[in-house]
Homo-oligomer: A and B are copies of this chain.
Amino acid sequence: MGIVFVDVGVSLDGYMAGPNRGPDNPMGGRAMSIHQWVFECASFREHLGMKGGVSGTLDDDLIKRVFARSGANVMGRRMFDEGEVAWPEEAPFHGPVFVLTHHAREPWVRKGGTTFYFVTDGIESALAQAKIAAKGKDVRISGGAETIREYLDAGQIDEFTLHLAPVVLGDGLRLMDGLSAEKLKFEQTGSSSSALVTHVDYRVLR
């Protein structure tokens, strides 16, 4: 049985997305700079159907491992809505994705193995379905911030990796805001860095 994990990039001031987000700019101002280290990695570019990038680096190996362990993804509706217009026809998940929504919709099959399933009966149901679909691999809670916080507060996350980028956004959407601190305990299990980012791994204790 796989575990449930979060793997997410934040700015130095804790934002997942920048200020002035909107339909034309789903990540908000300057937020792409959080993920600069990702865009330079061959494994990520390959997943998006792009050429180039570096491979064999610590960062690239890390991305490769995240893709390899992810048997299914769970995401919030806003992340899906933003991605629906932004992702290429061959969506970058290459597996089942469970979307939390209030609007029932038939599964949406994309080229390259990604199928979006729309779940209207809550986060527990979405995670239960994702666990079955993952066939023993891990389930990734992809985002956005609110969805990650809901699963954290529900005690459903086993492992949490933070990619801390040397970028200040000043405003935007915080990853960690208003968490139930008395319920949440983290144990740091690993840490590494490259020029553009520091990666920190945590186990979420129950």
**Majority SS at the chain A contact face:** loop
Residue pair B12, A13 in contact (C-beta under 8 Å)? no
Residue pair B196, A188 in contact (C-beta under 8 Å)? yes
Residue pair A166, B179 in contact (C-beta under 8 Å)? no
Residue pair B198, A188 in contact (C-beta under 8 Å)? yes
Interface residue ranges, A against B (CB under 8 Å): 12-14, 30, 162, 164, 166-171, 174, 176-182, 184-188, 190-193, 195-198, 200, 202
B-side contacts of A164, CB under 8 Å: 164, 200
Taking the full assembly, how many copies of this chain does it contain? 2
Residue pair B167, A186 in contact (C-beta under 8 Å)? yes
Residue pair B170, A181 in contact (C-beta under 8 Å)? yes
Q: Given A14-B13, A168-B176, A179-B13, are A195 and B188 also a contact pair (CB < 8 Å)?
A: yes
Residue pair B188, A191 in contact (C-beta under 8 Å)? no
Residue pair A202, B166 in contact (C-beta under 8 Å)? yes
Which chain B residue shows the least CB distance to A160? B12
Q: Given A14-B176, A198-B198, are A188 and B170 also a contact pair (CB < 8 Å)?
A: no
| Interchain CB contact (< 8 A) of A188 among B162, B184, B197 | B197
B-side contacts of A13, CB under 8 Å: 14, 176-177, 179, 181
Q: Given A14-B14, A186-B12, A198-B200, are A171 and B166 also a contact pair (CB < 8 Å)?
A: no
| Interchain CB contact (< 8 A) of A186 among B14, B166, B180, B192 | B166
Q: What are 29 sample pairs from A and B whose C-beta atoms fall under 8 A apart?
A: A12-B176, A13-B14, A13-B177, A13-B179, A13-B181, A14-B14, A14-B174, A30-B181, A164-B200, A166-B186, A166-B187, A167-B186, A168-B176, A168-B179, A168-B184, A168-B185, A168-B186, A170-B178, A170-B182, A171-B181, A188-B193, A188-B197, A188-B198, A190-B193, A191-B191, A191-B192, A191-B193, A191-B198, A193-B200
